[in-house]
Amino acid sequence: MSGVYLNSVTKIYGSVQAVADLSLSIPAGQFVTLLGPSGSGKTTTMRMIAGLERPDKGTISIGGKLMSGDRSFVPTHRRRLGMVFQSYAVWPHMTVRENVAFPLQQQGIPRSEQAVRVQAMLERVNLGSLGERYPSQLSGGQQQRVSLARALVAEPNVILFDEPLSNLDAQLRDAMRALLADLHFSSGKTFVYVTHDQVEAMTLSDQVFLMDHGRLVQSGSPDDLYERPASQFVAEFIGHANVLKLSHHDSASGTVRLENGVVLRVASITRKPVDSILVVRPHDLRFVEDSTEPNSVEADVTYASYLGDRTRYTVEVGKGAKVTVETPGRGSRRLQRGDRVRVQFPPEACTVI
């Protein structure tokens, strides 16, 4: 297994700094995700790891060996990498079996061994009976599994994924996420996954590197980013979040005041930023009947949306402060626009950043 290490890597295209002084440490055997919106630099970073782009500054090492930097550059075909592309990139004139066998042919593996390894890999990705078909005879999900099998069959040290599920429908994405998780567990390889989809990042990753405008914004486990966002950008990008501006916060009493005057108690305030905001997740808010419940305030329902497994409400707390509240789809009273309610902000769920 091989870890991947980037040290102060920068990539510039003309006047655009696509990646700026980026340092990442990806331990061997982990499933890590480079997450961020379009233009955040995540794909450029992956292409530099692959050797498809040269960094203008900094160094990249794989498995303890320098790949880029210090006047040295190891070409892509010598980096022992596998790659799965967004567009599948399977050869239309080759059968499934021939597509998967291609990396082994390039390595000079004997034909008898090729046949055994290819068939075993096709079985692992549930394509065992489709080896003689051509890509045009496959669905999008099947073509992506061909691409995945081709990337894995040569047993590379690191496998790179460039938004591989973005062209698939919702049900196929769910099935492919489960397959990727299983393949990572069974192979023990280092997976580096690029996506803008926070659900993929949360469900697949051991570690997430969230990027924006070419810089690393926050890194950590999915739990870290979701429960302890370091900024408003992180809070809003990782899952749904209510973000409320504060006019005052008091660390001694553990209270905050919203801009509209509503006072709430929070579990702790560990920072003293110039512009404070309160972050609370929609599923942490609750509707309560008792006015004596701590941190409960009156609100008006302005919108209700039934989503099957949950119901999503928009409510106005005080004047001008709107928050989203999510409740289970079953077992709770369905509220309507215009209903007067009480919303509880559990102190332990309120984060001040």
Same domain, 245 and 166: no
Q: Give 348's DSSP letter.
A: G
Identify any residues that bridge with 24 across adjacent strands, giving them in sequence order.
Answer: 6
d(CA 33, CA 98): 30
Same domain, 48 and 148: yes
Same domain, 244 and 191: no
Domain holding 346, by residue range, is 240-352
In tens, the pLDDT along 184-212 reads 999 999 999 999 999 999 999 999 999 99
Classify residue 235: in a domain, yes or no: no
Whether 273 has a pLDDT exceeding 60, the answer reads no
Classify residue 305: in a domain, yes or no: yes
Classify residue 232: in a domain, yes or no: no
- The DSSP element (H or E) to which 33 belongs, if any, is strand 31-35
Same domain, 136 and 251: no
Same domain, 298 and 167: no
Count Cβ atoms within 10 A of the Cβ of residue 339 and give its class: 0-12 exposed, 13-18 middle, 19 or more buried: middle
Whether 294 has a pLDDT exceeding 90, the answer reads no
Same domain, 205 and 245: no
Same domain, 193 and 322: no
Classify residue 317: in a domain, yes or no: yes
User: What beta strand segments (E) does 112-260 contain?
Assistant: 158-162, 190-195, 207-212, 215-220, 242-250, 255-258
Whether 165 has a pLDDT exceeding 80, the answer reads yes
Q: Which two tokens stand for residue 134?
A: 């051509």
Same domain, 152 and 79: yes
- Final residue belonging to a domain, choices 198, 227, 256: 227
Classify residue 137: in a domain, yes or no: yes
Same domain, 215 and 341: no
Classify residue 152: in a domain, yes or no: yes
Task: Report the SS3 class of residue 66.
Answer: strand
- Contact, 204 vs 33, CB < 8 A? yes
- Final residue belonging to a domain, choices 195, 227, 259: 227
Number of domains in the chain: 2
Q: What is the pTM of this model?
A: 0.88
Closest CA to 208 of 271, 197, 278: 197
Count Cβ atoms within 10 A of the Cβ of residue 93 and give its class: 0-12 exposed, 13-18 middle, 19 or more buried: exposed
Task: Report the SS3 class of residue 297.
Answer: strand
**Side-by-side strand order, sheet with 4-13:** 16-26, 4-13, 57-62, 65-69, 72-73
Same domain, 100 and 216: yes
Same domain, 319 and 252: yes
First and final C-alpha spacing in the chain = 38
Tell me, what CATH number does 251's domain have? Answer: 2.40.50.140
- Final residue belonging to a domain, choices 175, 198, 227: 227
Q: Which two tokens stand for residue 98?
A: 């021939």
Q: Which two tokens stand for residue 215?
A: 């810089």
In tens, the pLDDT along 2-46 reads 899 999 999 999 999 999 999 999 999 999 999 999 999 999 999
Q: Which two tokens stand for residue 11?
A: 């990539």
In tens, the pLDDT along 98-137 reads 999 999 999 999 999 999 999 999 999 999 999 999 999 9
